[in-house]
Structure 1
Amino acid sequence: MKIGSLLSHNARKYPELLAIECEGRSYTYRQFNEEVNKFAHGLLKMGINKGDKIALMMKNSDHYVFTFFAIAKIGAVAVPVNFRLTSSEVHYILQQSEAKLVVCDLEFEEIITTAKEDSDVRDVITIGEPRTFGYLSYESALSTNEIEPEVEVSEKDDLEILYTSGTTGRPKGALFDHKRIFNVGISVTINMGLRPHERILHVAPLFHSAQLNLFLIAGVALGAAHIIHRDFHPVKTLQAIQEHKITHFFGVPAMFNFILQVPNAADYDLSSIKRCGYGAAPMAPELVKKSIQLFKTDQFYNLCGLTEGGPGGILLDPEGHKLHLGKGGKPIFLTETRVVDEQGNDVKPGVVGEFILKSPMVMKEYYKKPEETKSTIKNGWLYTGDLATIDEEGYITLVDRKKDMIITGGENVYSVEVEGVLFEHPAVLDAAIIGLPDETWGEAVCAIIVPKEGAAINEEELKSFCRQKLAGYKVPRRIVIEQQLPRNASGKILKYQLRQTLNQVNA
């Protein structure tokens, strides 16, 4: 199945059904499809050919969705770009992906102007009236032709290059074709029980694989209504759920945490919610419990995957939450998973190994990086770089990234376990665990804490709290108080930045 045809099909099946609402603009499925076709023909008229790469540096919007589906319909390849990146970081992606066109929000036009130097980019389309000479406005790029573009697109044609979050260095571009992404939609629909005519709220960024592939594309296939927010704001999120009767909400753990801090959050009517999904980063069990209480539903899903998987991986369903809260879950539909040692042998229950998976949703390759592809995909298995355990029932628990594991005094410390304990403390809003060089122990466990508003952290009291729940060598030897933690747009804490900063302070 081709992704663009999912929209065309529902434009015929549900022509007057609400498809998109964004900042007061709303579109039925017929209007949605017509807008996409007009932009698709506009791109063809500009000389964009099948297989050409088009970068999107945009916040969530109706225009983002139109652009993505127009790209899909003409057989071009979408390259979503994290709008928080600097011009040099964007330059790397534009150059590495061989993008020929950029579609950007007006506020990112200046960054694109710098970033496209010495790249293959020949045109820029701005959402709004361009400030840069030679750039086109989105409106001027539209054709008046609303019929389906006559481009032969195969399910084996490339659809998107998703750049990894780059928590440990330069991002790599994971390449996917239409069939792989359609499989992602099938998998999430079956695993989460998505139904036609869902009402989905999009607050997580659409350049991220979870929001884009799991919920936008799957939702379009099902004929869902998509309520799109340009940015995440906890109060506006609660208001939208109440006003639009949202049935499905996905957020990264930090979003749930911020929602829980809204003083009158319990006053909002959230009864329309049928299910909540969380993922992209570990979510402490204490946060899950409080979120279940707020949303007044136990239909919570832990989606534990990675960009290279589509995203795909493991899932903890509502029943799993009752007995296995804190674990990652079991393989999602169409996926096989294992936890292996350095030789590729399955580990015994409780032993830490590397989490690997096999699936028809796994990326084709890292774009133009054959060596990295070869070291990541071995004999059909995707080696994730995540350390995990598996229990006797087959539940997998991610414990850390390989590069983030701490070895102190010869003992392994996994940050997820310690962070989970810290989140149980009533004064802790956010927390991260890293290892810092130590002459005696090799590495010392360091906790970076963001206190709740109005709360004070007593270091000795916090260490004592941890000692009640953790072995002595896991208790943080050093505690640093910060106002916020550095995160990428996927919600993952940038621990390498924390290590760099604190190592410089200690130097």
Structure 2
Amino acid sequence: MNIGSLLSQTSRKYPELLAIECEGRSYTYRQFNEEVNMLAHGLLEQGVNKGDKFALMMKNSEHFVFTFFAAAKIGAVLVPINFRLTTTEVQYILEQSDATIVVCDKEFEQTIAEAKQGTIVRQVITVGEPETVGFYSYEKVLSDNINEPDVEVSETDDVEILYTSGTTGRPKGALFDHSQIFKVGISVVINMEIGQHERILHLAPLFHSAQLNLFLISGVALGSTHIIHRDFHPVKTLQVIQEHKITHLFAVPAMYNFLLQVPNAADYDLSSIKRVGYGAAPMAPELVRRSMELFKTDQFYNLCGLTEAGPGGILLDPEGHKLKGGKPIFMTETRVVNEEGRDVLPGVIGEFIVRSPMVMKEYYKKPEETKSALKDGWLYTGDLATIDDEGYITLVDRKKDMIISGGENVYSVEVEGVLFEHSDILDAAIIGLPDEVWGEAVCAVIVPKEGAMIDEAELRSFCRQKLAGYKVPRKIFIEPQLPRNASGKILKYQLRQSMNQMSTEKLL
């Protein structure tokens, strides 16, 4: 078994079933598999070998999917790259991953041309007609051979290096083999009760492990129809759910927030939806509640995992939403431990750790970071959590985002949840900034809804009704938007830097 063979099997079982639709272009599973095989043979003819590190810098499209499966079929190791990264950041990943080949969309060709300098990248393939001398055209690389490539790929061969979000520093590459990624797919099929021939809408970037491993790969194995959006548009999303009778949807919290801002969102027929997934970043309870109202279902699943686990971790299913706690996903064990690695008592905050066959092999070429993260078979996540008597886990905050103000611990997620209940707030983040009196001051960075004005005294009074005094924001910053990575996570280190600088400049 390998990831490429999942497509081959499905194409034999359901050759005429619609597999992919993207921007008006559609492919049956037979056509899907043939396109993949043509590219696989073309790559072999270009000298791509089993074990080569194969980078992708592409937006969502059928070409991303074809390239991913073609590389998997010939045993290359996929390195999906966030297309929002700068040239310097891309260069770091190309160099650190030992990538030798890159496939990119034409709009990212110049970034790759600059980023590959000083790396061992020997070949770049552009989707479209390349403008850079020496780059290859995707279409011209395709072979006429539609048969399965004759490359033996085992389940223990490496298949992906997934780079972490890099919200606190340079990203690290989590290394996985085919077996680990296959088990990730199995886990979501079981936990979210995904059946055969579902209609899955792909909104989040496919370079992100959740959309790629949880929903694309599992959906291909089951014979699902994949509706792929290159970019996220709230109105288009609602239209497509209605027109294509989408059954399964995964999105990051910010996307649900935008869907709720569509003036006539409630007029769309979203009744085909069976399951709604969210993850990659915390989602305020008020935002979850309003999203349930929009979709007229409580079948919401919080997939609380991390890249290093495939992603995997804990799942907050519909019942868990009522109990406000999650349980480990299929094939996964979890604990909450103190600094000595001992289990904490119920209700006590500790670090959330994970053990499963889906956890990465290692951080690629980073032995010290690997040793720090993987201890005695457990992955230490850096997330703070509590566990109750029945084993339900509630995540509290990231270790690095916890604020200590006047000797009291303040967990940003709790305060953000209250802010999202305010009718004038579109988006919000809580950060800690240096304070001479309190050590750190609790600070709110607010994005108001269109046309709304934030009254700071009123907002503090609103918070004081729901929070202890030391948790109420002492400083409030109004911004047009919050910096986020492609996974939807707020880049709080950027906020801390910029807001601290702003505070300093005001004092001067």
TM-score (norm 1): 0.99
| Cα drift, residue 139 of structure 1 | 0.2
Structure 1 stretches (4+) deviating beyond 2 angstroms? none
Distance in 2 between the 1:423 and 1:154 partners? Answer: 48
What are the Cα deviations for residues 301-341 of structure 1, in whole angstroms up to 9, with x where unaligned? Answer: 011000000000000111111232xx4x1100000000000
Q: Which residue of 2 aligns with 1:219?
A: 219
What are the Cα deviations for residues 160-205 of structure 1, in whole angstroms up to 9, with x where unaligned? Answer: 0000000001000000000000000110000000000000000100
The answer for unaligned runs of 5 or more in structure 2 is: none
Q: Which of residues 383, 389, 392 in structure 1 aligns to 2:389? A: 392
What are the Cα deviations for residues 383-427 of structure 1, in whole angstroms up to 9, with x where unaligned? Answer: 000111112221111111111110000000000000000000111
Q: Which residue of 2 aligns with 1:296?
A: 296
Amino acid at match of 1:278: Y
Q: Which residue of 2 aligns with 1:319?
A: 319
What are the Cα deviations for residues 119-138 of structure 1, in whole angstroms up to 9, with x where unaligned? Answer: 01011000011111111111
Matches within 5 A, 1:1-16: 1-16=1-16
Q: Which residue of 1 aligns with 2:35?
A: 35
Distance in 2 between the 1:100 and 1:339 partners? Answer: 40
Amino acid at match of 2:237: T
Amino acid at match of 2:192: M
The question of 1:370 aligning with 2:390 is answered no
Q: Which residue of 1 aligns with 2:150?
A: 150
Matches within 5 A, 1:34-183: 34-183=34-183
2:143 is paired with a residue of what secondary structure? Answer: coil
The answer for unaligned runs of 5 or more in structure 1 is: none
What are the Cα deviations for residues 272-310 of structure 1, in whole angstroms up to 9, with x where unaligned? Answer: 100100000010000111111110111100110000000
Distance in 2 between the 1:345 and 1:122 partners? Answer: 49
The question of 1:402 aligning with 2:399 is answered yes
Distance in 1 between the 2:450 and 2:153 partners? Answer: 53
1:292 is paired with a residue of what secondary structure? Answer: helix
The question of 1:382 aligning with 2:382 is answered no
Q: Which of residues 467, 470, 485 in structure 2 aligns to 1:473? A: 470
The question of 1:455 aligning with 2:449 is answered no
Distance in 2 between the 1:145 and 1:472 partners? Answer: 69
Q: Which residue of 2 aligns with 1:496?
A: 493
Q: Which residue of 2 aligns with 1:426?
A: 423
Q: Which residue of 2 aligns with 1:19?
A: 19
Distance in 2 between the 1:488 and 1:393 partners? Answer: 35
Q: Which residue of 1 aligns with 2:502?
A: 505
Q: Which of residues 333, 343, 346 in structure 2 aligns to 1:346? A: 343
What are the Cα deviations for residues 67-109 of structure 1, in whole angstroms up to 9, with x where unaligned? Answer: 0000100000000000000000000000000101110000000
Distance in 2 between the 1:363 and 1:284 partners? Answer: 29
What are the Cα deviations for residues 207-258 of structure 1, in whole angstroms up to 9, with x where unaligned? Answer: 0000000000000000000000001110010011011110000000000000
Q: Which residue of 2 aligns with 1:435?
A: 432
Q: Which residue of 2 aligns with 1:262?
A: 262
Distance in 2 between the 1:173 and 1:414 partners? Answer: 28
The question of 1:357 aligning with 2:354 is answered yes
Distance in 2 between the 1:460 and 1:347 partners? Answer: 39
Amino acid at match of 2:405: T
TM-score (norm 2): 0.99
1:126 is paired with a residue of what secondary structure? Answer: strand
Distance in 2 between the 1:297 and 1:473 partners? Answer: 37
| Cα drift, residue 455 of structure 1 | 1.1
| Cα drift, residue 506 of structure 1 | 2.5
| Cα drift, residue 440 of structure 1 | 0.1
Distance in 2 between the 1:131 and 1:122 partners? Answer: 17
Amino acid at match of 1:420: G
What are the Cα deviations for residues 4-31 of structure 1, in whole angstroms up to 9, with x where unaligned? Answer: 0000001100000000000111000000
The question of 1:281 aligning with 2:281 is answered yes
Distance in 1 between the 2:380 and 2:191 partners? Answer: 23
Distance in 2 between the 1:20 and 1:357 partners? Answer: 34
1:151 is paired with a residue of what secondary structure? Answer: coil
Distance in 2 between the 1:506 and 1:316 partners? Answer: 38
1:194 is paired with a residue of what secondary structure? Answer: coil
Distance in 2 between the 1:322 and 1:407 partners? Answer: 30
Amino acid at match of 1:263: P
RMSD: 0.6
Distance in 1 between the 2:123 and 2:76 partners? Answer: 15
Amino acid at match of 2:388: D
2:351 is paired with a residue of what secondary structure? Answer: strand
Distance in 2 between the 1:323 and 1:353 partners? Answer: 20
Q: Which residue of 2 aligns with 1:337?
A: 334
Distance in 2 between the 1:176 and 1:234 partners? Answer: 33
Amino acid at match of 1:412: N
| Cα drift, residue 505 of structure 1 | 1.8
Q: Which of residues 402, 413, 430 in structure 1 aligns to 2:410? A: 413
Amino acid at match of 2:209: S
Amino acid at match of 1:286: E
Distance in 2 between the 1:245 and 1:434 partners? Answer: 40
1:389 is paired with a residue of what secondary structure? Answer: strand
Amino acid at match of 1:160: E
Distance in 2 between the 1:320 and 1:80 partners? Answer: 32
Distance in 1 between the 2:159 and 2:196 partners? Answer: 24
Distance in 1 between the 2:321 and 2:360 partners? Answer: 29
Corresponding residue pairs, total: 504
Distance in 2 between the 1:319 and 1:54 partners? Answer: 41
Distance in 1 between the 2:285 and 2:101 partners? Answer: 43
